[in-house]
Each structure stands twice: as C-alpha cells, then as structure tokens.
C-alpha cells in the first residue's frame, strides 16, 4: 500500500502531503507538551477532540469573513487544509492575566486586563519562542507592515467573535494563540489564519467556577485533562454522545478507512 509523504511533524500535529496541489493534511496527535516541550505526556483522545473543535471554530470564523486554511475534516483525526507559508510569529491575544504575562509582570492571575492585549513571539523552539515587538518584526522582515495590519485586524475580530461564542456556553476566553500563513497566487500572497484552535493553544475558564478547561490542567498537574477537553467539545456541540467516553477508540477504523480512500491508484507526478 502506498503511504503518504510526511512533510513535517510538530509537537501536536503531523503534516502530510495533500491529495491535490496546494493542499496538505493535518493529523492531530494525542501528544501533550508544555514549557517548550520540557514536559511531555499524552492526553487520550485529545487529537480527536482538537480536530472537531478546530473544525468548528475555523468554520464559524469563515462565516464572519476570516480567511482560513481549513477546507474540510477528513476523519476523526485528520483535516484537509490549504498549504501556506507560515509566518514565523505566534500571535497571542490576552483578555485576562494568566500564564507568562502574570509571571513576567507580577500581575495576579485572573485579573481582567484594561483592554485586549496582542503580543508577538518568534517561532523558535531553540530560543524558547521569545517575545518580540513590532519593531523587531519590521527590522528582521518576518512580516511586512501590510501583513501586520492584516494580522492585528484579524486577531481583534477573532477575539471579539470567539469571546461571545464561548461566553454563550459559559466559558471565559482568557487568552489564545494564533498562527497565520501566506497563501500564494502567482507572485501575489495574502495572509490567512492557519494552524488550529483548540484547548491546546488557548485558556478557557468556566465562567461560574473558574475551573480550567484547557492544557493548563496538564501543565500544572491538575489532572482531568481528558474530561476538560471533552467538556469544551460538549458545550460547543461538536462531540457526539457515543464519543463521550473514549473518543480515541473510534479512531483506528475511521482513520484506516480514510487512508484507503486517499491512497492514490497512480503514482503522483
């Protein structure tokens, strides 16, 4: 049986060659990492849930005019997306003090920020993804001025929309990370939202109890990671009842059937 060509493997996903030019397949893993991969573990069924949540969020964002790389979900763990050139920046949007900003600035975790804050981090694991300014970005040409205008504008729109979407299911959107990519059409390129949106790259707190429903449960050894991810999916309405107990168990045959469908009859040119 022919195997798809792996293009890249990250901490939470594997990227495979897509069935058509200009596409790739994202495979969501159960691997969990924290503190720049110093802490490693597994959250059973995480890849299945993150695939569903990311599909839901990207679809809803496209409805309000945010251009994304998402095309469609292929199976329990995989989705077809447009191939883009990733801009080497992590865009972090903060509504509430938590995580690194609370530690860096001595702010009490949970304190509402005076206004939404956007931070930029260079995507460089070997350097610990350092915080950078817009002046750094312009100086080293990581993104153009026009691209940064698009990125900041989309980040604010995404935050406004998702804050309301999560509030409707009694979840506070504390902060989240976005990645953007360049989609080329000849010599012209435009910036679109890429990567994923899931409890792996955002902080979600229950609005009544402040219970953490995201990867901080893994980072801080709180336990209950599987249940927290499932709870987010249930509240968003993307987890079916027959998948509640063990979504990972449903994967193998589903992914196997998908691989059979995607196996080309002729070698690619």
- 105-129: per-residue pLDDT in tens? 999 999 999 999 999 999 999 999 9
Decide if 71 contacts 193 (C-beta within 8 A).
no
Q: Is residue 1 part of a domain?
A: no
Residue 110 to residue 259: CA distance in whole angstroms: 44
Looking at the structure, do residues 104 and 203 belong to the same domain, yes or no? yes
- Average pLDDT value for residue range 182-189: 94
Looking at the structure, do residues 94 and 204 belong to the same domain, yes or no? yes
For every residue of 159-214, DSSP letters joined together read HHHHHHHHHTTTEEEEEEEEEEEEEEETTEEEEEEES--STTSEEEEETTT--B-S
In the chain, pLDDT over 90 holds for what percent of residues? 84
Residue owning tokens 């915080």: 131
Band the pLDDT of 250: cuts 50, 70, 90. very low
Residue 220 to residue 68: CA distance in whole angstroms: 32
Question: Residue 254: what pLDDT?
Answer: 45
Looking at the structure, do residues 102 and 207 belong to the same domain, yes or no? yes
Q: Is residue 224 part of a domain?
A: no
* Residue 54 C-alpha from the chain's centroid: 7
Domain CATH for 133: 3.30.470.20
Is the confidence at residue 181, as pLDDT, over 60? yes
Looking at the structure, do residues 202 and 92 belong to the same domain, yes or no? yes
The span from the first CA to the last CA of the chain, in angstroms, equals 17
Band the pLDDT of 86: cuts 50, 70, 90. very high
| Lowest pLDDT segment from 153-157, 202-206, 260-264 | 260-264
| Lowest pLDDT segment from 26-30, 60-64, 76-80, 238-242 | 238-242
Looking at the structure, do residues 89 and 213 belong to the same domain, yes or no? yes
Is the confidence at residue 229, as pLDDT, over 80? yes
Question: Residue 256: what pLDDT?
Answer: 40
Residue 204 to residue 174: CA distance in whole angstroms: 6
Question: Residue 242: what pLDDT?
Answer: 57
pLDDT tens-digit series, residues 203-225 = 999 999 999 999 999 999 999 99
> Between helices 46-63 and 145-167, what is the axis angle to 10°?
110
Question: Residue 11: what pLDDT?
Answer: 92
Looking at the structure, do residues 170 and 257 belong to the same domain, yes or no? no
Q: How many domains does the chain have?
A: 2
Q: Is residue 41 part of a domain?
A: yes
Question: Residue 42: what pLDDT?
Answer: 94
Band the pLDDT of 35: cuts 50, 70, 90. confident
| Token duo for residue 90 | 């992590």
Looking at the structure, do residues 246 and 203 belong to the same domain, yes or no? no
Residue 124 to residue 77: CA distance in whole angstroms: 26
Looking at the structure, do residues 25 and 45 belong to the same domain, yes or no? yes
Looking at the structure, do residues 214 and 248 belong to the same domain, yes or no? no
The boundaries of the domain holding residue 184 are 85-219
Going by C-alpha positions, the residue among 199, 255, 225, 244 that lies closest to residue 57 is 199
Question: Residue 265: what pLDDT?
Answer: 44
Looking at the structure, do residues 238 and 198 belong to the same domain, yes or no? no
Q: Is residue 269 part of a domain?
A: no
């Amino acid at each position: 049986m022919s195997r798809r060509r792996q293009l890249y493997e990250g901490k939470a996903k594997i990227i495979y060659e897509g069935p058509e030019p200009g596409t790739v397949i994202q495979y969501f893993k159960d691997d969990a990492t924290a503190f720049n991969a110093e802490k490693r573990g597994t959250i059973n069924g995480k890849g299945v849930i993150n695939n569903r949540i990311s599909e839901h969020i990207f679809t809803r964002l496209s409805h309000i005019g945010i251009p994304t790389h998402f095309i469609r979900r292929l199976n329990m763990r995989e989705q077809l997306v447009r191939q883009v050139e990733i801009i080497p920046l992590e865009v972090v949007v903060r509504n509430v003090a938590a995580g690194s900003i609370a530690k860096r600035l001595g702010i009490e975790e949970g304190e509402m920020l005076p206004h939404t804050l956007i931070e930029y981090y260079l995507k460089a694991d070997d350097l610990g993804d350092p915080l950078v300014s817009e002046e750094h970005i312009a100086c080293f040409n990581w993104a153009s001025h026009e691209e940064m205008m698009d990125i900041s504008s989309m980040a604010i729109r995404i935050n406004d929309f998702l804050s309301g979407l999560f509030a409707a299911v009694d979840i506070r959107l504390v902060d989240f990370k976005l990645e953007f990519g360049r989609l080329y059409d000849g010599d012209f390129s435009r910036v679109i939202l890429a990567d994923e949106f899931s409890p792996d790259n955002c902080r979600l707190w229950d609005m009544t109890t402040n219970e953490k429903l995201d990867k901080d449960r893994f980072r801080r050894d709180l336990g209950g990671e599987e249940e927290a991810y499932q709870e987010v999916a249930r509240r968003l309405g993307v987890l079916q009842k027959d998948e509640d107990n063990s979504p990972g168990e449903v994967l193998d045959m589903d992914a196997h059937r998908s691989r059979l469908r995607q196996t080309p009859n002729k070698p690619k040119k």
